[in-house]
């Protein structure tokens, strides 16, 4: 019996931990995919991923046996379609602050009549094992995910309306930007206690709408907190943190008692 698709696992409420990879080297994406995460996200917004590295990285993640997501650059709805055509299981779109933004994301990621996604999923069909074009057309709107990032005061005010847009499969809370906008630019504090109530509120409203609630956690403690707050799709740190922490641990152990 085939393993459940990532979209089905997330919709069922299973707690999913995604890795976060910004270094544009496919071997890193593959190694991370084999490390025990449930899936791997490639970051094009703030990290170093580009179109070519995403194309190669998605193949490497699939070779490592895991599903994949792409976090897009702001308003890059062209790359939303391309990421899905390249084989991603879903895209995470930053700064979705309005219904208009949400509808633009749906237009780029869903086939008609739900959206306006253009046809051309040759690589996706290969990586995802889709047997024929008709199956792709029939299933893709459900099996690939459009996730809207909620990370501003404006997005929080519009959250219920964004969640009501047909084709938005879930949200992804960005705590760093949220702390900046809710403090009126006074502080960057993704782990500040005063941020917990807004973070809980986003999860509550998302789950009430029957959508996937995701978030970025900078460490394991925060990931567990987000799970307790009601988030089921959580990014844990990033590849540069994984490398740095691993080096620190190995060096400390090697130098112990010296």
Q: CA-to-CA distance for 205 and 197, rounded, in angstroms?
A: 12
Residues in the chain: 258
Ranges of the chain whose pLDDT falls below 50: 1
Sign of CA dihedral 193, 194, 198, 201: positive
Please give the C-alpha separations between residue 153 and each of 75, 134, 177, 216, in angstroms, as whole numbers: 18, 41, 10, 17
Cβ neighbour number for residue 71 with a 10 Å cutoff: 27
What pLDDT is recorded for position 3? 67
What pLDDT is recorded for position 171? 98
Residue that is written with structure tokens 């995604």 in the block: 18
| Active site residues per annotation | 46
β-pair partners for 236? 217
Q: Encode burial over 99-133: b for 16+ CB neighbours within 10 A, e otherwise.
A: eebbbbbbbbbbbeeebebeeebebbbebbebeee
The pTM score is 0.97
Structure confidence by residue, pLDDT tens digits, 59-114 = 999 999 999 999 999 999 999 999 999 999 999 999 999 999 999 999 999 999 99
Please give the C-alpha separations between residue 26 and each of 53, 116, 217, in angstroms, as whole numbers: 7, 30, 23
- 80 alpha carbon, distance to own chain's centre: 12
List of domains in the chain: 6-255 (3.20.20.60)
**18: helix, coil or strand?**
strand
Q: CA-to-CA distance for 14 and 186, rounded, in angstroms?
A: 36
């Amino acid at each position: 019996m085939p393993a459940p698709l990532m979209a089905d696992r997330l919709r069922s409420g299973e707690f999913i931990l995604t890795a976060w990879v910004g270094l544009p080297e496919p071997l890193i994406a593959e190694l991370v995919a084999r490390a025990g995460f449930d899936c791997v996200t490639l970051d094009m917004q703030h990290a170093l991923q580009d179109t070519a590295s995403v194309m190669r990285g998605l193949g490497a993640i699939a070779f490592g046996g895991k599903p994949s997501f792409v976090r897009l650059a702001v308003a890059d709805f062209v790359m939303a379609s391309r990421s899905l055509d390249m084989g991603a299981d879903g895209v995470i779109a930053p700064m979705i602050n309005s219904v208009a933004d949400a509808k633009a994301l749906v237009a780029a990621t869903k086939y008609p009549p739900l959206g306006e996604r253009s046809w051309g999923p040759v690589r996706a069909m290969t990586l995802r094992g889709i047997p024929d074009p008709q199956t792709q057309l029939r299933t893709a709107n459900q099996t690939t995910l459009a996730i809207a990032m909620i990370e501003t005061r404006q997005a929080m005010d519009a959250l219920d309306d964004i969640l009501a847009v047909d084709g938005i499969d879930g949200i992804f809370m960005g705590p760093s930007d949220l702390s900046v906008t809710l403090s009126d630019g006074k502080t960057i504090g993704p782990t500040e206690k005063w941020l917990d109530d807004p973070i809980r509120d986003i999860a509550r409203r998302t789950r009430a709408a029957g959508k996937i609630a995701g978030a970025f956690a900078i460490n394991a403690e925060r990931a567990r907190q987000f799970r307790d707050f009601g988030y089921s799709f959580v990014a844990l740190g990033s590849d540069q943190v994984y490398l740095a922490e691993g080096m620190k641990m190995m060096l400390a152990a090697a130098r112990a008692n010296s």
